[in-house]
Structure 1
């Protein structure tokens, strides 16, 4: 059966009414800390994983230690959506584990009127590209864009067969069942990827830990330098210009840039150079170049200069958590910390068997071979789990947009 005929049979000519989220959700309440008699788990803005759409960690708070933003009581089946930097799409469904706990005022709490709409109906609808476009149009602020709860609740969603709640919920349930199946495949692969990343970090730590006497520690500035070569903006396009925004977080490489500069003092990078995002070092933005291109002052270009070090080995050293922790320790600025260029060049790099160049390079190559296999599996956008996740995600998005694309009235009600 084709997708279109399936939809036609499922809907069978029923009417669809578009309602604001505020009309199909219940009012929620805030906690009264003066009356609280127990500790609570606090769901703050970093508690919900952007990729997993699940609560990944919480802190325990007491009535005396609760931060001012810890206000919103949540219940099982609530959908919470982060209204700060909303286009990051940080949201999740509250499960039984967090029933009765407290969320930040940075979340809009959407509690479904279950006689009209399924909680997961809301969940899938706010994941849609249409909702994201709505957020982009209605958020305010530049450095810290946000959207109000009231504006979120003005977003209109389709309610099939509104005059027959039983049939409406049956239609919603069938569509949710299909979308959940696609979503589950993506979630399972994402969980597997997170496990592989932990393994990668474990082996990187293990392979880059040496016994005393097996290694010589060299200051980064002894074996590398910052690129001083300039490049013209006319030589750059989306594939070889790297701005800090096109470097991916958590060592995941880069994507093509959506813009290229038409002027400015631009630094050239070459094949084998290591590019490090110099704004907010805790984001762990790093990529080893496989081409010639250019970047601006927000990205540091580390160029290996000593033949004793394998450039790929140096990348693995600088991609280690220890380097990013060091970088943050010496970073300048509070709201928007930047790496300290001078201090970065003082970072100590372990060189195994440094007195025997041939032996040293062989050991570096062995380490690189092992870590590169993990790197391809966990970070490659053209192979491994990231590629599979991307395909499953696109499949989910295709069916989500198809199954939730109900006809709209000719004239939207203001």
Structure 2
């Protein structure tokens, strides 16, 4: 899709006016209902949470329904309206729209607005997902545990209206843009589905070879206790836990980083596993770079890397995390005692065999999990490509519009 030449052909010299949303349409806020009100059949409704998990640019079928008596006290959007989500856990969640193209009216939640206009509803919904629109409303979003925006904040944002003096011609141009974006959306979805299916197959293949490589028959290798061949310790809480990214991850209880630290207390090439806490016991991590080790996490490092390679230890424990789960002490906060962890028996093949295992599994890991290479990266690039051309098409080459490549 070429930039200027394509837009020039599409517009054919007509004017594009940037108008505030509240100048071209009307907002109506929904009324509150709760998930307990929702049922498998009845009057169609849209809960704001479904805007994130279920609905895309357009919909003609509801996922949930309400009893007639409950629905009669609420507000409805009409076919051709756009439902706009106005609350979410992050600022990025706010403002997405879904064009309602169902055959009947639909109830909508009080964390949403309906937007009624003479514009093509899918054209509006596509535009509401652009970075250009999100940048316009960012300053109007109130942040907190739940971020939100009101109708005034939404209404101040501008939308490009081609050929505003000729509504029929304007709708034709909008419809052509929608047609192009529909086709591009379908193509991207198909490609992403194929890549995702490939990724799923590769992950199964990876798990098969990982388990095969890390399965040893009795007598094939020597088994040693973890405490005899590694150092096991917990860390301490940093003086300050940062939310902004720094050079050092803060690794504590849980399955993800617990924040960032200004320094490190542990070198890289280290295996980690939570010592206590809800939900993290049994998770095995590998820290490639220096990091800050917290008080609720064990670091496990080889005492002699000519005997045990840390990355091999990571792959073995990750593949056999039920060994760690079996050590969990219940009652109060789940925990794993260091003395019990040290007694785990670990197969220790030859150094060369460990290198061989790590080399193979590293390649599979990069293909299936890496965000900088492999299939996850390819999926991410296809989505970014789609967003780039969508935003370019809907910017109408506005002089001050920034379309991120």
Name the SS for the 2:147 alignment partner.
coil
Give unmatched runs, 5+ long, in structure 2: 401-405
Name the SS for the 1:9 alignment partner.
helix
Give unmatched runs, 5+ long, in structure 1: 333-339
For the pair 1:19 / 2:52, whether they are aligned, the reply is: no
Cα deviation for residue 112 of structure 1 reads 4.7
CA contact (8 A) 1:160 1:171 kept: yes
Cα deviation for residue 266 of structure 1 reads 4.0
**Structure 1 CA distance for aligned equivalents of residues 55 and 250 of structure 2:** 23
Cα deviation for residue 225 of structure 1 reads 3.2
**Structure 1 CA distance for aligned equivalents of residues 67 and 249 of structure 2:** 47
Cα deviation for residue 52 of structure 1 reads 8.0
**Structure 1 CA distance for aligned equivalents of residues 296 and 197 of structure 2:** 29
Cα deviation for residue 47 of structure 1 reads 6.4
Alignment CA distance shift 1:5-1:31 (3 Å)? same
In the TM superposition, what whole-angstrom CA distance separates every residue of 1:76-103 from its partner, at most 9, and x where no partner exists? Answer: 6644435223433374636779976665
For the pair 1:242 / 2:242, whether they are aligned, the reply is: no
CA contact (8 A) 1:81 1:92 kept: yes
For the pair 1:380 / 2:382, whether they are aligned, the reply is: no
Deviates more, 1:188-197 or 1:9-18: 188-197
Alignment CA distance shift 1:388-1:148 (3 Å)? same
For the pair 1:6 / 2:3, whether they are aligned, the reply is: no
CA contact (8 A) 1:330 1:343 kept: no
**Structure 2 CA distance for aligned equivalents of residues 285 and 97 of structure 1:** 45
Deviates more, 1:295-304 or 1:178-187: 295-304
Give the 5 Å matches for 1:3-402: 3-11=3-11, 12-20=13-21, 23-25=24-26, 27=28, 30=31, 38=42, 43=47, 45=49, 48-49=52-53, 63=67, 78-81=82-85, 83-89=87-93, 91=96, 93=98, 104-106=109-111, 108-113=112-117, 116-196=118-198, 198-199=200-201, 225-226=232-233, 228=235, 240-242=247-249, 266-274=264-272, 288-291=286-289, 293-295=290-292, 297=294, 302-305=299-302, 311-312=311-312, 314=314, 317-318=317-318, 342-343=335-336, 357-358=348-349, 372-402=362-392
Alignment CA distance shift 1:135-1:228 (3 Å)? same
Cα deviation for residue 138 of structure 1 reads 1.7
Name the SS for the 1:268 alignment partner.
coil
**Structure 2 CA distance for aligned equivalents of residues 331 and 361 of structure 1:** 43
Superposition TM-score, scaled by structure 1 size:
0.61
In the TM superposition, what whole-angstrom CA distance separates every residue of 1:174-228 from its partner, at most 9, and x where no partner exists? Answer: 3333344444444334334544554466567766599999799988999663564
Name the SS for the 1:267 alignment partner.
coil
- Count, aligned residues: 373
CA contact (8 A) 1:74 1:101 kept: yes
Alignment CA distance shift 1:197-1:308 (3 Å)? same
**Structure 2 CA distance for aligned equivalents of residues 6 and 402 of structure 1:** 11
**Structure 2 CA distance for aligned equivalents of residues 161 and 97 of structure 1:** 28
Superposition TM-score, scaled by structure 2 size:
0.62
Alignment CA distance shift 1:374-1:29 (3 Å)? same
